[in-house]
Amino acid sequence: MKSSHGDLMHWMRSILLVTFMLTTTSALAVDEIYTGFFSNKAIKGYDTVAYFTENKPVKGNSKYEYSWKGANWHFSSQENLDLFKANPEKYAPQYGGWCAYAVAQDTTASIEPDLFTIVNDKLYLNYSRKINEKWLANRDQYIIDADKNWPGVLSK
C-alpha cells in the first residue's frame, strides 16, 4: 500500500516534534549524576571506591550494584559496595561525575573513567586527555571555579 504525500509529511512533522521535545527538554537541565545517554550507570560502570583504595580505575560488576541519587553505581567487590553505602559523599566523584574542567567552564561534559585526579580526598574526572592536561596545569583554580558553578550549571 502506498503512503500519500500528506501521510508522509504528517509522519515527518511528528518525528521532528518528538526530536525537538527530547533535545530541548534535555537541554533545559541535566541529571545531577552523569550517566551518559541510554545508561543509568554512574562513572560508566567503574568502581568509584577503587579510585581511592587502588588509585586506579577499576571496572565495577553489576553483581555489586547500588542505586544512589538516581544512578546505578557498580563496584568491584562487596567490600567497596559496603564502603560506598556507609558514606557515599566521601567516595562519589565531585560534580556528580561530570567533567570537572567543563564544570569550571560553567558547562557539562561527559568523562573518561581513566582521566582522574584525587585532590584533598576528592575525586575529579575529566573528558579527554587534552582537557585533563589543561585541568592539571591549573587544577586548584579550576576547582575553585567549578565549586562556584556547581550545582547551578545543571540548570543551564
Q: For residue range 89-121, list pLDDT tens digits in order.
A: 999 999 999 999 999 999 999 999 999 999 999
Mean pLDDT computed over 37-66: 97
pLDDT at 4 exceeding the cut of 70: no
As given in the structure block, the three cell numbers for residue 60 are 565495577
Mean pLDDT computed over 37-63: 97
As given in the structure block, the three cell numbers for residue 116 are 582522574
The rounded percent of the chain whose pLDDT value lies above 70 is: 82
pLDDT at 26 exceeding the cut of 70: no
The rounded percent of the chain whose pLDDT value lies above 90 is: 78
Say what the pLDDT of residue 16 is: 46
Judge contact between 57 and 50, C-beta under 8 A.
Answer: yes
Average pLDDT of every residue of the chain: 88
pLDDT at 146 exceeding the cut of 60: yes
Judge contact between 123 and 51, C-beta under 8 A.
Answer: yes
Say what the pLDDT of residue 30 is: 85
| Three-class DSSP category at 50 | helix
Torsion, Cα 136 102 40 24, to 10 degrees, reads: -170
Q: How many CB atoms are closer than 10 A to CB 47?
A: 27
d(CA 110, CA 96): 11
Residue type (1 letter), 87? N
Say what the pLDDT of residue 3 is: 52
Domain locations in the chain as residue ranges: 34-90, 93-156
Say what the pLDDT of residue 29 is: 74
As given in the structure block, the three cell numbers for residue 124 are 575529579
Helices H / strands E in the chain, number of each: 7, 4
d(CA 46, CA 123): 13
State phi, psi for 145 to the nearest 5 degrees: -65, -45
